[in-house]
Amino acid sequence: MTYDQQIEDIQQQADGLNEMLADYINTAKVNATEGDLSGSAEGLTYLLYLIRDIKARVKDADDEANPALVEVMDHMGEKQVEYGSISVERKISNYRTNWQNQVLIRAVVTAALDEIEEREFVDQESGSYVSERAIVAPWVDAIISRLLECAAFRDWRVTALRNNIPGLNPDDFCEVRRSTKAVLRRG
């Protein structure tokens, strides 16, 4: 059997599965409207469980097929391939996790404060000059602490960090895992 025949067979099987699922769902809906609520609920529950299993199997197949295509494209020396109306491009992605949120939020706030013109005020008791930043520092620290306590920072916008804090390398503040995937492009 050729690759084209195998793909056609897989497509037919997928179409058949979609039809079977649609028929099952419609039957369950009809049965529910006719009063078999418990039977419909049980059947749809098992169907959702089965669909979850099917999605996991398809993901496993994708997790195997995608790196295989990347490897084939590497051997071909190609970053992009086109077959008919399908275009695939190799993309390199960085997955960043375990951000050092406390350090980054303080750096962002400090960079923002650095953009504000520094002002000084006269301390009424001592007569000495006090910088505005020294005055607001306790409030800024309290806000940062509350944000870190309440917010779940999972990701940071890398380009924005680079643009707002010159010289900062975001990769120094997280764990980075590099991945190469084959990505279908819109045709």
Per-residue pLDDT tens digits for 145-185: 999 899 888 899 999 999 999 999 999 999 999 999 999 88
Report yes or no on 64 lying in a domain: yes
Range of the domain at 17: 3-78
Number of domains within the chain: 2
Q: For 25, phi and psi rounded to 5 degrees?
A: -65, -45
Rg (CA), the chain: 28
Q: For 84, phi and psi rounded to 5 degrees?
A: 60, -130
> How does pLDDT run across 106-119, given as a tens digit for each residue?
999 989 988 888 88
pTM of the model: 0.63
Distance CA(89)–CA(80), nearest Å, equals 4
Report yes or no on 108 lying in a domain: no
Task: Check residue 118 and report its DSSP letter.
Answer: P
Report yes or no on 109 lying in a domain: no
Determine the distance from the C-alpha atom of residue 125 to the mean position of all C-alpha atoms in its chain, rounded to a whole number: 54
Bridge partners of 97, per DSSP, are 175
Report yes or no on 26 lying in a domain: yes
